[in-house]
Structure 1
Amino acid sequence: MKIHLTGPKNQLLKETFKITGSKSESNRSLLLSALYPGIQILNLSNSDDAQVMEAGLKRTEGTVDIHHAGTAMRFLTGYFSAMEGSDVILTGSKRMTERPVQILVDALKELGADISYVKEEGYPPLHIKGKKLSKHKVSLPANVSSQYISSLLLIAPSLENGLELELTGKITSVPYIKMTLALLTEIGVESSFQGNSITVKPKTEVKPTTLVVESDWSSASYFYSIVALSDEGSQITLSAYKKNSLQGDSVLHKLYGEFGVETEFGENQITLKKVSEPTKATVSFDLANAPDIAQTIAVTCFGLRMGCYLTGLHTLKIKETDRLDALHTELTKLGADISVSDKTLTLKPAKNINSEIAIDTYNDHRMAMAFAPLALKTSLIINEAMVVTKSYPDFYEDLKALQFGIKEL
């Protein structure tokens, strides 16, 4: 489905939304609840990814198809490896079979896992026969996707000897590793993270525990962009959020200050206020700890006719699409002067913004949602628009509440 998108006629915006639970926290919590049945989860994400993860955890044999859900692919690879008696083929979409998984598979094999590649070496589909993993020491490159690391950490307390994980090199996406360890602490698992070494102690059972999933900061990023691109005085309130968030993308509340957006923290909510127009012609951000907001920030800068230099983006090339290449292609269509390397993005202040451009989404939910706020500055078309259900099924309904014009083509 493709849609034609226009911004609200009155761009002094005021609205309140409840955002679904974090996909990252939800999928971690779901895996822990599968390992320890005494765990209850509140505010679970209603995203496709969380539903796929939940369904996959209920399987012990046959083919488990996780479609586009990269988190589920990484987490379930670890889960099935340690689940004695399971025998599954873990697969996904065409793009998923192009996303490397060898580093994680090699680490699990080092612990004793029985995993083989069904087709191409290093890539899904995977044939996994679950067994008791008795080894407890393994090393992993530190600059890979944090989901590889979290996949090991989540199953670690269920292993008879726990886990000692050594990370080699500079660590990427530290907040996501800390999120995993914080959830382990919440259910009573002991762990330590010192330098490049992580240790998780074994735990056979946990007391009945309720995990409350915070709402998704990645989803909040699109409202930060909308407020930044709207008129001064606009404000949008979002729940349920907390100041001491486990999510790396919560850095938004600091970064968007550069675009004139102030964040006010309340009781389990945030209010985004457009207090001024930005004063800088160009901004520079290192997004190594929050790469998922790179697309949103690049589009915000383009819409504000600002430049930006974004670094720490090396993991974007193995996401749902090569996000750096996709950003380069789509922003160029809109009139941007943009260049990318394998880990950076450079955008020059825009001279003009083309209208009625069709944005391709590449099976990537974040491409659709990152570009949508640009409708405040120019009318555009979003191809394959419903890809947003991967993480935020209610996205277009919430845009309608802000009086965006949405017409199915």
Structure 2
Amino acid sequence: MNCKVSTSDSFFKAAINITGSKSETNRLLLLQALFPSLTIENISNSDDAGVMQKGLASNETVVDIHHAGTAMRFLTAYFAVQEEREVVLTGSSRMKERPIKILVEALNQLGAQITYEENEGYPPLRISGKQLTKDKVTLPADVSSQYISALLLIAPKLKNGLELTLDGKITSIPYIQMTLALLEEIGVKTVFKENVIKVFPITEEVLPKTLTVESDWSSASYYYSIVALSKTGSQIELSSYKENSLQGDSALATLYKQMGVDTTYKKNSIVLTKVPHEAASIEFDLTKTPDIAQTIAVTCFGLQIPCALSGLHTLKIKETDRLEALKTELTKLGASISVTDKALFLEVSNTLNSHVAIDTYNDHRMAMAFAPLAIKTPIIINDAMVVSKSYPDFWEDLKALGFEVL
């Protein structure tokens, strides 16, 4: 389904409730599968969380996770420790192009039995679950944090725990810290010192515990963009959020301050307010928060602010090559933009083409990052329902703000 997005007003006063973080949800779902005494509240209603739940509950010999990259990484580790169970873990044609060799090699070094069904280094995988007794492995520090988190999440179930050494400069510390914080919350002892992470094995039963998932900060990014592009005084309240978040994307509050958005923390929500302050140019290192790069680039284009965004090397292996996709779609709108394999540079452009059809490349973030530009000009989003991967209610929530979505 393609949709045309527009709005006749650029002043907003509204409150939106956003479901649980996809990142937190998927981590807790895996921990709940390992430790059934856990209860989870405010689970994300995203496709990715649904795929993760189905994968964990499946008794089939083939588990298909479609486009869900997190599920591919986490379930690879999960099935590796399911003794006497063999599964083939597969996904969409794009998933079969996304590398997983680093994680597979790490698990095999720990004693796992994982082989490739088609092309070496890529899904589908044949996984024969077994007890893993080795406890030391090294990974490049700049790999996707999901490889690292996948290993950390199963570590309490390993006979001797896990000592994971990260070689080089670590790029995704917030997501690693989120994983470790959730492990600590259920009673697992962890140590993260310099480039070595230790997770100790569980020696006693995990006590019954209810864990509440904080709402998704990545989903909040689109409202930061809307407020940044709106009239001074516009205000959107989002729930449920907390000031001391485990999510790295909570850096939005600091980053968007330079684009005229103030963040106020209330008991269970945040209030975004448009204020008359915008930087002359934006320069961000998004090594720790690459998932919000698309939103920031589109916001800067809409505000006619030049930007230089670095630390984006992981974007090339997401649902699509997000850097090339951004370049292609922003250029359609009239942007002057260049990209490398890890950075994006946007110059000021006085051109903003109307009624442009934005291709989304099976990527939920492409659809949602470009939608706020409807404040400036009507825009068409192709394959609009791709948003269901992380935020199924997105278009309905935009309608509640006063956007027309046809």
- TMscore range, shorter length: over 0.9
| 1:46-101 deviation line (CA, Å, top 9, x unaligned) | 00000000110112441100011000000000000011122111011111000000
Structure-2 residue corresponding to 1:128: 127
Report the residue type matching 1:228 in the other structure: A
User: Cα distance, 1:277 vs. partner?
Assistant: 4.0
Structure-2 residue corresponding to 1:234: 234
User: Cα distance, 1:268 vs. partner?
Assistant: 1.1
Report the residue type matching 1:150 in the other structure: S
Structure-2 residue corresponding to 1:203: 202
Do residues 187 (structure 1) and 186 (structure 2) align?
yes
| 1:223-281 deviation line (CA, Å, top 9, x unaligned) | 00000001000000000000010000000000000011000000010000001141x22
Structure-2 residue corresponding to 1:34: 33
Alignment partners' CA distance in 2, 1:60 and 1:88: 9
Alignment partners' CA distance in 2, 1:181 and 1:402: 37
Alignment partners' CA distance in 1, 2:325 and 2:61: 35
Aligned partner of residue 220 in structure 1, secondary structure: helix
Structure-1 residue corresponding to 2:215: 215
Do residues 103 (structure 1) and 102 (structure 2) align?
yes
Aligned partner of residue 53 in structure 1, secondary structure: helix
After TM superposition, the score normalised by the length of structure 2 is: 0.99
Identity of aligned residues (%): 66
8 Å Cα contact 2:9/2:375 also seen in 1 = no
8 Å Cα contact 1:61/1:86 also seen in 2 = no
Structure-2 residue corresponding to 1:168: 167
User: Cα distance, 1:10 vs. partner?
Assistant: 2.4
Report the residue type matching 1:293 in the other structure: I
User: Cα distance, 1:352 vs. partner?
Assistant: 1.3
1:3-402 map, 5 Å: 3-7=3-7, 9-204=8-203, 205-278=205-278, 280-402=279-401
Alignment partners' CA distance in 2, 1:171 and 1:321: 23
Runs of 5+ consecutive residues of structure 1 not aligned to the other structure: none
Aligned partner of residue 10 in structure 2, secondary structure: coil
Alignment partners' CA distance in 1, 2:4 and 2:57: 39
8 Å Cα contact 2:301/2:348 also seen in 1 = yes
| 1:181-224 deviation line (CA, Å, top 9, x unaligned) | 00000000000000000000000421111111000000000000
Aligned partner of residue 159 in structure 2, secondary structure: coil
Aligned partner of residue 262 in structure 2, secondary structure: strand
8 Å Cα contact 1:400/1:406 also seen in 2 = yes
Alignment partners' CA distance in 2, 1:60 and 1:113: 20
Alignment partners' CA distance in 1, 2:302 and 2:349: 8
8 Å Cα contact 1:61/1:87 also seen in 2 = no
Report the residue type matching 2:223 in the other structure: F
Report the residue type matching 1:200 in the other structure: V
Report the residue type matching 2:149 in the other structure: S
Aligned partner of residue 306 in structure 1, secondary structure: coil
Moved segments of 4+, more than 6 Å? none
Alignment partners' CA distance in 1, 2:111 and 2:184: 26
Aligned partner of residue 345 in structure 1, secondary structure: strand
8 Å Cα contact 1:60/1:88 also seen in 2 = no
Alignment partners' CA distance in 2, 1:81 and 1:164: 17
Aligned partner of residue 61 in structure 2, secondary structure: strand
8 Å Cα contact 1:60/1:85 also seen in 2 = no
8 Å Cα contact 2:243/2:265 also seen in 1 = yes
Alignment partners' CA distance in 2, 1:349 and 1:375: 19
Aligned partner of residue 276 in structure 1, secondary structure: coil
After TM superposition, the score normalised by the length of structure 1 is: 0.98
Alignment partners' CA distance in 2, 1:239 and 1:404: 20
Report the residue type matching 2:305 in the other structure: M
8 Å Cα contact 1:84/1:132 also seen in 2 = yes
Alignment partners' CA distance in 1, 2:331 and 2:351: 11
Runs of 5+ consecutive residues of structure 2 not aligned to the other structure: none
Aligned partner of residue 191 in structure 2, secondary structure: strand
Aligned partner of residue 178 in structure 1, secondary structure: helix
Alignment partners' CA distance in 2, 1:276 and 1:85: 62
8 Å Cα contact 2:48/2:389 also seen in 1 = yes
Report the residue type matching 1:352 in the other structure: T
Aligned partner of residue 144 in structure 1, secondary structure: coil
